[in-house]
Structure 1
Amino acid sequence: MKGVKVRITELKDYLLITVGSFITAISINVFMVPYKIAPGGISGVATVIYYLSDEKVPVGTAMLILNIPLFLMGIKLIGKKFIIKTLYGTALLSVLIDAMQPFTDYFVENYLASTESHRYTPDILLYSIFGGLLMGMGLGLVFRSGATTGGTDLAARIVNHVVPAFTIGQTLLFIDTSIIVFAAFVFKSVQLALYAMVTLYISSKVIDAILEGVNFAKALLIISDYPEEIASTILRDLDRGVTALKGKGMFTGSDKEVLFCVVQRRQIPMVKKIVRQIDKKAFIVLTDIREVLGEGFKTYE
């Protein structure tokens, strides 16, 4: 039974990689390459190569070639399961980009670059926004499966292994920014670089939303001289659990009970009203929570 569940989970992961790669390929072919938007990553480098080469080296092929040395260098840094999924995602994305190009080129030419009666100047800002949304959705699904599509995230892991002083996030930001600047020099356009930054920012936010959830909740820490009354009122009126943590006021030296509670954002005004009515001198700390698993919130997958 356990083996069957593992296989089903693996199948779901590869389905996510497939769907995610398909969506990412659409974003690159429809919104990125035709308008010279290179939002970092290997796809950004491949876009530059595509326009620099006389023979128009296919973007997918260039991405696959660029990823090969990264895999050879990083194969010792990542686990077997991760490398297999990442190889699948990388190869599939490259194949899809090249295989879908004739169809996406037709779509761009007939639906994005023209109207029924006349041609118009494309709204590149609009395309950079929607390109970022689609790319974020696609990559988010791939990352959620525990894989990547290779590229700069793998390069960042390698650099972090060699130079631990820089985090993976810092290294990734530096690499992607460098690629955007490089593309700006090649295309001789600061405007295109700004569009690429918009795409990169939006895609990163969408990836975060897919990986960490979008149903934000709020965590509260409440310090009061009337913890039991506040806790019982929250439990009764809001049907939310409250946990008492042991604390000590370092200024007064007195022991305190710190109440910890997680509520929906819409319930914040009610919590404030409850605390204010019971103890106007209470101290409340609010913080955002990206995802909550458990009773009353999101169920475990």
Structure 2
Amino acid sequence: MALGLVFFLEPNTIAPGGVTGLAIVVEKISGIPMDVTNLVINIPLFALGLVTLGKRFGLKTAYGTVALSAFIRVLIMGKNMIVVHDLLLASLYGGVLMGIGIGLVFKAGGTTGGTDLAGAILNKYIPNISIAKLMMAIDLLIVAAAGIVERKLETSLYSTIALYILVKIADFIVEDLNYAKAFFIISDHPQEIGREILNTLGRGVTVLKASGMYTGLDREVLLCIVDRSQVSKLKHMVHGIDKNAFVMVTTVHEVLGEGFRKQ
């Protein structure tokens, strides 16, 4: 996160939401270093979070907040060595680095404070609005502030790009890119298809009892989850047994259990 902030985002006043984005705006206005602003804003947020939300936002949040500011301070000393001034490249690579950092933090069950903590606190008092929507509202205000400070609409637009990339990359990191494919198979030959999957692919098959709304007939729906490398094989296998089979394939972002990843 510190790499993305110091070498890509801050030099171009690209503020992809969050307290760190606000810190970039504050530094542009007042000259106060963003590592200082990050701490100053997050400390009262952290204290309020402990009172409002309990100890689940405890040690890991404090560690994440302090560590981020510390790494920003270390990297600022070498800031003039490598700085990217192309706005598109800065928003792309800054967003990627920030997303990787935030994703790793979230995956470890921590947080760096910021809008996720602020959103959770506000949700306590405004329960009708979800935490995600509150976070997005705060982030969009910070993105808009970056454009106002620079007096350039482009700055806000590039900040939005960085924010979008950050969120997507963080999601990928948290989900571990460990997605698989789930097959729902409706066929007149469920037993034959099921045995073929068990014997050839070595994958388990679950039989779901179902009833057709139009026909009123009871049917068996086969549910099978396979690796991406087995998707084509399973399609050909089903087609070879029953050309009229109805097959639905959907992406499963995480599979825990026998044959896949252990919990």
| TM-score, structure 1 as length reference | 0.82
Q: Structure 2 stretches of 5 or more lacking a match?
A: none
Check if 1:106 corresponds to 2:69.
no
Q: How does 1:286-297 map to 2 (within 5 A)?
A: 286-297=249-260
The aligned residue for residue 52 of structure 1 is 29
Equivalent pairs, count? 263
Q: How does 1:1-301 map to 2 (within 5 A)?
A: 24-53=1-30, 56-103=31-78, 105-108=79-82, 112=83, 122-300=85-263
Report deviation, 1:298: 2.5
Give CA deviations for 1:145-199 in whole Å, capped at 9, x if unaligned: 2110111110110121111221111111111111101211111112122221221
Report deviation, 1:80: 2.0
What code does the residue aligned with 2:7 have? Answer: V
The aligned residue for residue 7 of structure 1 is none
What code does the residue aligned with 2:123 have? Answer: N
The 10-residue stretch of structure 1 (283-292 or 268-277) with the greater mean CA deviation from structure 2: 268-277
Q: Give, in whole Å, the separation in 1 of the partners of 2:63 and 2:178.
A: 31
Q: Give, in whole Å, the separation in 2 of the partners of 1:273 and 1:97.
A: 53
Report deviation, 1:81: 4.7
Q: 2:188 aligns to what SS in structure 1?
A: coil
Q: Give, in whole Å, the separation in 2 of the partners of 1:36 and 1:29.
A: 11
Whether the aligned pair in 1 keeps the contact of 2:28 and 2:149 (CA below 8 Å) is no
Report deviation, 1:282: 1.9
Q: Structure 1 stretches of 5 or more lacking a match?
A: 1-23, 114-121
Report deviation, 1:292: 1.5
Report deviation, 1:57: 0.5
| TM-score, structure 2 as length reference | 0.93
What code does the residue aligned with 1:52 have? Answer: I
Give CA deviations for 1:113-143 in whole Å, capped at 9, x if unaligned: 6xxxxxxxx3221122111111111111111
Residues 253/176 of structure 1: CA separation in 2 closer, same or farther (3 Å cut): same
Q: 1:260 aligns to what SS in structure 2?
A: strand
Q: 1:57 aligns to what SS in structure 2?
A: coil
Whether the aligned pair in 2 keeps the contact of 1:82 and 1:146 (CA below 8 Å) is no
Q: Give, in whole Å, the separation in 1 of the partners of 2:81 and 2:255.
A: 41
When the two chains are superposed, the root-mean-square deviation of aligned CA atoms in Å is: 1.7
Whether the aligned pair in 2 keeps the contact of 1:225 and 1:282 (CA below 8 Å) is yes
Q: 2:182 aligns to what SS in structure 1?
A: strand
Q: Give, in whole Å, the separation in 2 of the partners of 1:272 and 1:100.
A: 51
Q: 2:53 aligns to what SS in structure 1?
A: coil
What code does the residue aligned with 2:237 have? Answer: I
